Structure 1
């Protein structure tokens, strides 16, 4: 399953060269991951209130092209790997047909102390599993 969300680049996200500062891509990717979680039925606020969370353990980003103010971006997110405690979500930022950036985000499910822990059954969503096709 590939979840998609759309956003428009805001002027304050651009640097002195007129293109989106590379650090802002982390915000775009985080927004898209949250939308991905919602799309698979994962209620993150409820996870937090029940004493758990998800931490990002690693992000790999390959920047391909620059982006400028007012451009519309589509961000795709899908699961690549899933274990008992952690997994990897792949993400792609697109402007039309152009690939702007590609990322792999490793996440870990944690308890209230931030210690990695096995995902409880109620939060172990089928949408975390990569497609086998």
Structure 2
């Protein structure tokens, strides 16, 4: 499954050079990740209500071309890998109007319970991840 979401670059997301500040890409990755889980049948809120969290263990972004104020972006998110207690999601960011690829990246997440302890992927999340692989 490739989950797609669109976002328009806000003025506040740009820096003095007139391009998107580098850290904002990770916020867009988060939007893509939560959208992927929602499309797979598990809104993040429901995962948290079930007592589980997905803290970021690693985050990477390769910046290919700059994004600018008012650009319409498309974030594509895909499930890359699932292990016993972690998962990796890949992201590709495009200018939706020109189809130019702007960035690629990934985030790796651990699965923790309410006590903050690392835990195996619970059934509620496993079902959603199986859906995301389709």
Equivalence for 1:15:
15
Is residue 131 of structure 2 the alignment partner of residue 127 of structure 1?
Answer: yes
Is residue 111 of structure 2 the alignment partner of residue 109 of structure 1?
Answer: yes
Structure number with the higher strand fraction is 1
Q: What is the alpha-carbon distance in structure 2 between the residues aligned to residue 127 and residue 82 of structure 1?
A: 13
Paired residues, number? 130
Alpha-carbon contact 1:109-1:117 (below 8 Å) kept: yes
TM-aligned CA distance change 1:33 to 1:40, over 3 Å = same
Give, in angstroms, the shift of residue 81 of structure 1.
0.6
Q: Secondary structure at the match of 1:53?
A: coil
Alignment of 1:1-133 (within 5 A): 1-95=1-95, 96-124=98-126, 125=128, 126-129=130-133
Q: Secondary structure at the match of 1:73?
A: strand
TM (normalized to structure 2)?
A: 0.91
Give, in angstroms, the shift of residue 122 of structure 1.
2.2
Q: What is the alpha-carbon distance in structure 2 between the residues aligned to residue 103 and residue 12 of structure 1?
A: 22
Q: What is the alpha-carbon distance in structure 1 between the residues aligned to residue 119 and residue 89 of structure 2?
A: 18
Alpha-carbon contact 1:87-1:107 (below 8 Å) kept: yes
TM (normalized to structure 1)?
A: 0.92
Give, in angstroms, the shift of residue 123 of structure 1.
2.1
- Unaligned residue ranges in structure 2 (runs of 5+): none
- Unaligned residue ranges in structure 1 (runs of 5+): none
